[in-house]
Structure 1
Amino acid sequence: MSSTALIVGCVSFADDYLKELQKSHTITYSTSRSRQEFFDDCAGKYKDVTAIYYSSESHAVTGVFDKELIDHLPRALKFITFCAAGYDSIDVTACTARNIMVSNTPTAVDAATADIAVLLILSCCRNANQASENIRSGRWRHGMAMGIDPEGKTLGILGMGGIGKTIAKRMSGFEMKIIYHNRTRLDKKTEEKYNATWVDFETLLRTSDIISVSVPLNKDTTSLLSYREFTLMKDGVVLVNTARGKVICEDALVNALESGKVVSAGLDVFEGEPTVHPGLLAHSRSVIFPHIGTFTKESQKKMEMVALGNLEAALTRNTLITPISEHKKFFKN
């Protein structure tokens, strides 16, 4: 049986919205049980699908949407609405070559991800991980390193998009100096709103007491922070990453932790997740979370609502509401 739209993954929190859409559109779930079966189904029962709603839960079956998978998608397909902000699991070049337009959920994740960044910053500053381990092992504060206060410190935000701005907003209450680096500087009014000052990349590395990473993963940001970049940082810097694991070379980070160049690292993302570098697991001053930046019911629903909104726009108006940055040029404002 052919369908107009296909759910590859799941809708868990915005099911009422999905049910409403299904009243006027044919939207079905993928029933493929393996990557190869999905390929076969794309040439068979899914051949008339024009739009796919895609969430990362499907990875266990389909794997990522790489070029191989994109090449097998139905010939009729025009749109992929991805239920996430970061879309490095989709081969955008392959999609563009096939005129398949992609959307993501950029604003839906800002608050929850920023909250995790703030939690990591404070946990790193106050050495919360070691404190918790000490008291659980009956050692109270014995052998525990003293923390630092965030007040008066310089917070450097790498990537001042929606998440970076929200981090700045959250951390402004701690009386910190906030600097940021984007490839494109924000306008003066926005800088004033977030009390943030633009600096070049190396200046941010050299002058920040705390660095928070919020850049998207692409060819320019892969291993953005590696051995050279760590040598430029202040001794005793705090580093937090809620972006993507591959933005930081973990071997270099572990080396910097062991030397004391980085006094503490707070990470919600990892190079090879769910595998975590053994050096990070072993270090008492690494605060590590299992990618929980958007792991709240409210955020998941926001993301699903945005992705389904894009699906509805694709089916009813042949457009997308939040196309990814590479595809915005194909849509009128």
Structure 2
Amino acid sequence: MSTPKVVICGDIVWAHDELKEMLGSTTNIVLMDCQTRAQFFENLTGSGKYANVVGFYRHNSSADRIGIFDAELISKLPDSCKAICHNGAGYDQIDVKACKQRGIIVSNTPGAVDEGTATTALYLLLSALRQFSIAERNLRALKWKSGLPPAHDPSAMTLGLLGMGGIGVYFAKMAHALPMKKIYYHNRSPKKDAPEWAEYVPTLDELLEKCDVLSVHCPLNEHTVGLVGEAQIRKLRKGSIIINTARGKVIDEAALIRALEDGHLYAAGLDVYPDEPNVNPRLMEFRNVTLLPHMGTETEESQRAMEVRALQNLVDYFQTGKPRDLLAELRS
């Protein structure tokens, strides 16, 4: 039996040794070196470098060269391809439906990103509540506290989490330590490992009515695009705050901007945007909006853990036929 071929589609930055140790003796590792989508497709056929591939390690950095793993790309994969092990908690750059139709399993890297993304949300929360990003810009401009009225203590504010996966749980625990006045969350169902002090609410509307700060932690898919729209933002109390470290398209950006313009929202903290790396210049006009360039997983520890976990999913597939982090929508 020939050695199964694995294509490293994107960057391995931290886990070179782990790649060799985990897959070097059992698979034929091929590094993707094409520069265009057309070249990638060509190498999937005949005697091309990626022909007869069984598994992919995929990193979002590959999209700069070959684009996302959309339906077109999935349709070009050879019948030998059985697994795509994605480096990242979010997997909206992969057409999972197309993969399912072709019998290709997909995994992601939950857990590995929890601390990095949750600490980013915590910074955005504190900055929005206390106007810290405005204060820093003031200081650098030698304006001291000019134009800075008193802000808010976390203990006076109720936090609502939209989504309660690993990142949400991690963030809730940190926010509870501040402490927040109360923490609620909405999920598809109650979270078994949610802290006892985090109260589950069954509908999004109920969550919006209860919270002063809405923090978004749900994945991006066909059901969550624009989930937080005009109607949802207006259900928040006047003077509320929105934090987003999930995906930009979960929030209707135009509705968010309108709510900032008319003062319905006190502030916002954003790490993600609908058209990254492009950022709507209107957002930069609001002093009360803290903006970060998708810094959620920009730590050495998070990135190494993500690489290792994606590689481990490949190992799991070859050993058991099922990666540990198989996507929920693909589980039988």
- TM-score when normalising by structure 2: 0.95
Once the two structures are overlaid, the 10-residue window that deviates more, 290-299 or 37-46, is 37-46
The residue type equivalent to 1:183 in the other structure is: R
Q: Which amino acid aligns with 1:309?
A: Q
Instruction: Please report how far the alpha carbon of residue 146 of structure 1 lies from its aligned counterpart in structure 2 after TM superposition.
Output: 2.5
Could you tell me how far 1:230 is from its partner in structure 2?
A: 1.4
Q: State the 1:3 CA deviation.
A: 6.3
Could you tell me whether the CA contact under 8 Å between 1:169 and 1:194 is conserved in 2? no
SS at match of 2:177: helix
Contact between 1:152 and 1:175, CA under 8 Å: does it hold in 2? no
Q: Is the 8 A contact 1:127 1:145 kept in 2?
A: no
Q: 1:134 to 1:186 in 2, by over 3 A?
A: same
Equivalent residues in 2 for 1:279-318, closer than 5 Å: 279-318=282-321
Does 1:74 find its partner at 2:75?
no
Q: Indicate the RMSD between aligned Cα atoms, in angstroms.
A: 1.3
Which residue pairs with 1:93 in the alignment?
A: 97
Q: Distance in 2 between matches of 1:145 and 1:304?
A: 44
The letter of the residue matching 1:50 is V
Cα pair 1:168 1:194 within 8 Å, conserved = no
Q: Residues of 2 paired with 1:5 and 1:122: CA distance?
A: 43
- How far did 1:318 drift? 2.7
CA distance in 1, matches of 2:229, 2:196: 28
Contact 2:226–2:251 (CA<8 Å) still a contact in 1?
yes
Aligned counterpart, 1:128: 132
Q: How does 1:130-149 map to 2 (within 5 A)?
A: 130-149=134-153
- Which of 106, 109, 117 lines up with 1:105 in the alignment? 109
CA deviations 1:142-178 (Å, max 9, x no partner) are 1223311101321101101111111111111122211
Task: Give 2:68's aligned residue.
Answer: 64
Contact 1:35 1:61 in 2 (8 A): yes
Give the distance between the partners of 2:115 and 2:141, measured in 1 at CA: 34
Contact 1:158 1:181 in 2 (8 A): yes
Tell me if 1:28 matches 2:33: no
Where 2:155 maps in the other structure, the secondary structure is: coil
The alignment-based identity, stated in percent, is 41
Q: Secondary structure at the match of 2:154?
A: coil
Q: Which runs of 5+ in 2 are unaligned?
A: none
- Residue type matched to 1:130 in 2? I
The SS at the match of 2:296 is coil
**Aligned 8 A contact 1:103 1:320 in 2:** yes
Q: Which residue of structure 2 aligns with residue 183 of structure 1?
A: 188
Contact preservation (8 Å) 1:3, 1:28:
no
Q: Is the Cα–Cα contact under 8 Å of residues 126 and 148 in structure 1 kept in the other structure?
A: yes
Residue-by-residue CA offset, 1:15-44 (whole Å, 9 max, x unaligned): 111111213321110121210000110113
The equivalent of 1:19 in structure 2 is 20
CA contact (8 A) 1:79 1:100 kept: yes
Q: Supply the distance in 1 between the matched residues of 2:135 and 2:118 (Cα, whole angstroms).
A: 23
Query: For 1:103-252, what aligned pairs fall within 5 Å after superposition?
Result: 103-176=107-180, 177-187=182-192, 190-191=193-194, 193-199=195-201, 200-252=203-255
Match of 2:260 in 1: 257
Q: Could you say what secondary structure the match of 1:43 adopts?
A: coil
1:35-46 alignment runs, 5 A limit: 35-44=37-46, 45=48, 46=50
Distance in 1 (alpha carbons) for counterparts of 2:11 and 2:79: 23
- SS of 2:160's partner is strand
- Aligned AA for 2:227? L
CA distance in 2, matches of 1:218, 1:25: 33
How far residue 194 of structure 1 moved from its aligned partner, in angstroms, is 4.5
Give the aligned partner of residue 8 of structure 2. 7
1: CA distance, partners of 2:4 / 2:28: 6
Q: Distance in 1 between the 2:206 and 2:255 partners?
A: 20
Equivalent of residue 266 in structure 1, options 264, 269, 272: 269
Q: Which amino acid aligns with 2:113?
A: V
Range 102-111 or range 319-328, more displaced: 319-328
> Take 1:319 and 1:161, find their aligned partners in 2: how far apart are those partners?
21
Contact residue 165 and residue 194 of structure 1 kept, 8 A: no
Letter of the structure 2 residue corresponding to residue 208 of structure 1: C
State the TM-score, normalized to the length of structure 1: 0.95
